[in-house]
Amino acid sequence: MSGAGGRNKPVIVLVRPQLGQNIGKAARAMLNFGLTEMRLVAPRDGWPNPDAGPAASGADIVLEQAQVFATVDEAIADCSTVFASTVRRRDLVMPVLGPEEMVRQITASPGPSAILFGPERSGLETEEVALARAIVTVPINPEFASLNLAQAVILLAYEWSRHGEFAQPPAKDLEAPAPHTEIDGMIRQLDEELAAKGYFHPPSRTQATKNTIRTIFTKTGWSSREVKAIRGIVRALVGPPRRR
């Protein structure tokens, strides 16, 4: 996921893409700006898709190397900085960034990063957006917001490439943020312990509360070491007092 210049290239994750043609167009958009790593989550028509190649106009290498995953969780398991691309307002209190600030955070991240794009029609589900550190939104005409998938990809890829010559090397003394799987494990531990305490009530609010907790713990930027510490803290809090 690092480029020739050592710069952190974001992974482009297409979540449940519907048309093979749009997957090809997204690949073409990516390669124009030097992005090469595409991941597909449950593409509707399976993979490989014969419609993708012609639409890629020669960006075959991106399609050939594309990896397929069953869930968003698996697709971003190794990524420590994840953004969700959406123009829609969400019932989630989480940071909303413009493309430029997203690129700044990708460049500053010592670990791999990813950008999630939802299906053509519906966009990302709320639970999928909640997996990200922040929402990224292209500032657009409020009276005519009509970006298709490949256009959203090309604008963010362009923004990424714009900053090439100004890239700052990641600070070495900064601990890398923990990968998604570790954050996720911590959150699930917390969810389980809170459920055991009867914290989630009423049931109609459970999912919203869980999304809030996920958002709170996803934005921290904690390292693996810090995640371990938090897990130990949660165990200590729920356990009986230790005698020494």
Q: Which residue number, 131 or 190, has a Cβ lying nearer to a second copy?
A: 190
CB 21 within 8 A of CB 55: yes
Q: Which residue number, 70 or 121, has a Cβ lying nearer to a second copy?
A: 121
Torsion angle defined by CA atoms of residues 136, 64, 8 and 172, in that order, rounded to the nearest 10 degrees: 130
Pick from 6, 70, 144, 204: which binds a second copy (CB under 8 A)?
Answer: 144
Q: Which residue number, 40 or 136, has a Cβ lying nearer to a second copy?
A: 136
Judged by CB under 8 A, the chain residues 43 through 62 that form the site for a second copy are 57-59
Over the window 208 to 237, marking each residue x when it contacts a second copy by CB under 8 A and - when it does not, the resulting string is ----xx--x--xxxx--xx--xx--xx-xx
What is the rounded CA–CA span in Å between residue 193 and residue 195? 5
Question: What would the two tokens of residue 152 be?
Answer: 């959203």
Q: Which residue number, 49 or 223, has a Cβ lying nearer to a second copy?
A: 223
Question: What would the two tokens of residue 31 be?
Answer: 């390669």
Task: Tell me the window of 15-23, 43-51, 105-113, 164-172 that interacts with a second copy (CB under 8 A).
Answer: 164-172
Who contacts 30 (Cβ-Cβ below 8 Å, separation ≥6)? 12, 36, 38, 59, 62, 153, 157
Pick from 28, 39, 180, 214: which binds a second copy (CB under 8 A)?
Answer: 28
